[in-house]
Structures are given as structure tokens and as C-alpha cells.
Amino acid sequence: MIKFSDKNLSPIYEKIRENSRLDFEDGLKLFRSNDLIGLGSLASLVREKLHNKKVYYVFNQHVNYSNICLNLCKFCAFGKPPGDPEAYALNIEEIVKKLKENPSPIQEIHIVGGLHPTLPYDFYLELLKTLKREFPQAQLKAFTCVEIDHLAKISSKGIEEVLKDLKEAGLSCLPGGGAEVFSERIRKKLCPNKITGKRWLEIARTAHKLGIPTNATMLYGHIETYEERLEHLIALRKLQDETGGFLCFIPLPFLPQKSYLKKEVAPTTGFEDLKMMAVARLMLDNIPHLKAYWIFLGIKLAQVALHFGANDLHGTVYEEKISDFSGGETKKALSRKEIERIIREAGFEPVERDALYNPLS
């Protein structure tokens, strides 16, 4: 029996014990509750049922091939217009060289970038083919739904055809970015040039139907309401009922420090980050994994998040540029030994996995 300081959590506890789905109103009660320990206890019940003491991580590297972007979303400090002194684009040779500088063999290569105005469609296919050839053991987790839409535009192909081409070139799964918050109100204000939430979901649905699993993110802690967060979570849950193709949900706290919103929005607090994690675990009853993305949360808070529903600590990383540009202060890589210590000290059992969440022996 859990003792709650917020009496609104008791009926939700009963629903969880009966495996009943939580609805929008339940979600609002969770978000409005300040009984953080109660929320963590509820989320831990669910994560224990799904994963017992297991916490996953992957031995991976990130590739941010270019930050030049046509969209220039207001919350993004990574995307730069062409000609900006901080703009860069790596060629395939440079990417391979950078990957080879770090420890190997890599299990997963995580590839995302801006919407580059002139890189041709073949660059993306060639990039995957080359990485597959150079790192045959690595699974390629590449391109957000926003990039997939861009590739459809520059190739004049449909998204299904683009996804098939990428799969043939070596793609294993999609990383899940670009979802932000699906609300039209938010997108109009913060990222008017970005694809709509509806289009994002359509691309994820198409990928799932082609046997390409994806992850899903939500960028929270800017100008969205709790209601808009819940609409986002429920839209993902609905699509997952239909396709079963989401592997993992990743709540991403907004890092305002270097964005256009730095004067209007304060960074999230640890309290809000842990609450978000717990609510995600409770609402997304059909998405198996929940990630504490240590690059944005910080290592210490990501460790605590394991007691708030998270069962995945992402990976060892190396070379990640998005949080660099956004003012993230967390160190840039973890060794296997460090990541396993973080998991064990929190009372869990580390499980090294591949990009598709298969445990590695």
C-alpha cells in the first residue's frame, strides 16, 4: 500500500493495480500533484512490472552531420542559417574519421542534423551505406520524421519510398526527434516552418508499417500547458495501439540558455523533470521503454529518474552537438564502466542493449 500526501492519487493507484488505462483527467491530476514521492512510487510500480530491476543502455556514438537548417525553430540553438559563422556541414569522410577516433566496436550510430538546403538526396543514402560498410556491426538510428519529410521534398518521392530507400541503405530505426509538442498553437509560435504534429505521426505510422521501429520525443518546459503535454502523450499512445512500432519515449527538457527564448523561459526544475518522467510512464502504458536522456537531464538527475519510471539511460554517446549548442553542461561521454556504476548505485541491474532494445550478452 502506498501512502499519498495527495488524496487525488489514490483512485489512480487503484486503476494502475487493475491495469486500467489512465485518461486525460487522470493525467491532469498527476501533473497538478505536488506529491512527487507518490508520483515516483506509482511510476515505479509500472516500471517494475515491465522491466523489474533492468535498466538498459547502448554503446553508441552520435553524428550531427550538419547544423545548417532551413527551419530555424525558436527553441533550437543548434540550427543555423547558411553562412552563419557557427554553421558547419561534415562530409562523409570526416564523419567516418570522427567515428573512428572513439572506442569501438560501436553498437548504434545515432544520426541527426538540420534541414540542409543543398545536400542532395544521395548524400543521405551514401552516408548510411558507407557507415554500414565501415561499421558493419553498428545499427543505424538515423533521421527524425522532420528530416524524412525534407528528404521526400528534395527527392520528389513519397515518404514510403524514401523510407524504403533508407532501409535498403542500412537504416535500422528512427530516433524520434522533431515531435516537440504536437499542439498546433505551440508549433505556430515556436516552429512555424516545421512539419505539423499530424505529419510527424503520419511519417512514424508509415515507418512502423514498413517494419522500421521508431522512438518518440516530447520537448517540454517552454510555453506548453499540461493539457498540451497530455494531448501529445495520448496521440502517441493511440498510434502505438494501432502499430506497436514505438520502442521508447524520451521526454526532453527544454534548454533555453542559448535559444531565442532565453529571456522569456526559465530552465525546467528537477521537480518538474521528475514529475514529467513519472507521468510519461503512467500515461504511456503501451510504449515499453522510457528514457532518462542524461545529456539533457544531467547525469545525477537521470540516475534519480530511474526511480520515477525510467528504465533506459540512453548510451555512452560521444560527440553530441545539439546540447553543446543549447548550453547543456553535462559531460559528453560515459564509459561502460561509468554508466553501469550509475545504474548499480541506484539499485538496478545494467543491461547493455542494441538500438532495438535487444539485450546483448
Question: Is the Cβ of residue 224 or residue 354 nearer to ligand SF4 in the bound state?
Answer: 224
Question: Is the Cβ of residue 114 or residue 213 nearer to ligand SF4 in the bound state?
Answer: 114
Neighbours of 189 (CB within 10 A): 14
Q: Do residues 119 and 150 lie in contact, with contact meaning Cβ atoms separated by under 8 Å? A: no
Per residue in 197-230, is it b (16+ CB within 10 Å) or e — as a string? Answer: bebbbbbbbbbbeeebbbbbbbbbbbbbebebbb
Query: For 4, how many CA atoms within 13 A lie in the half-sphere containing its CB?
Result: 19
- For the record, the C-alpha cell of 226 comes out as 499540461
Question: Is the Cβ of residue 74 or residue 164 nearer to ligand SF4 in the bound state?
Answer: 74
E-assigned strand segments in the chain: 54-58, 60-63, 108-111, 139-142, 171-173, 214-220, 246-253, 289-290, 312-315, 349-353
CB 113, min distance to ligand SF4, A? 7
Question: Is the Cβ of residue 46 or residue 73 nearer to ligand SF4 in the bound state?
Answer: 73
Question: Is the Cβ of residue 95 or residue 191 nearer to ligand SF4 in the bound state?
Answer: 191
**Residue nearest ligand SF4 by beta-carbon distance:** 79
Residue choice 30, 69, 212, 317 for contact with ligand SF4 (CB under 6 A): 69
Contact positions with ligand SF4 (CB under 6 A) in 282-341: none
Contact positions with ligand SF4 (CB under 6 A) in 71-130: 71-73, 76, 78-79, 114-115
CB 78, min distance to ligand SF4, A? 5
CB 69, min distance to ligand SF4, A? 3
Looking at residue 337, its amino acid is K
Question: Is the Cβ of residue 111 or residue 304 nearer to ligand SF4 in the bound state?
Answer: 111
Q: What are phi and psi of 241, to 5 degrees?
A: -60, -35
Binding residues for ligand SF4, rule CB under 6 A, total 12
Give residues with Cβ within 8 angstroms of 329, minimum separation 6: 298
CB 302, min distance to ligand SF4, A? 22
Determine what percent of the chain falls in helix, strand and coil, rounding each to the nearest 5.
Answer: 45, 15, 40
Contact mark string toward ligand SF4, 132..161, x via CB under 6 A: --------------x---------------
Q: Which residues lie near ligand SF4 (CB under 6 A)? A: 69, 71-73, 76, 78-79, 114-115, 146, 191, 194
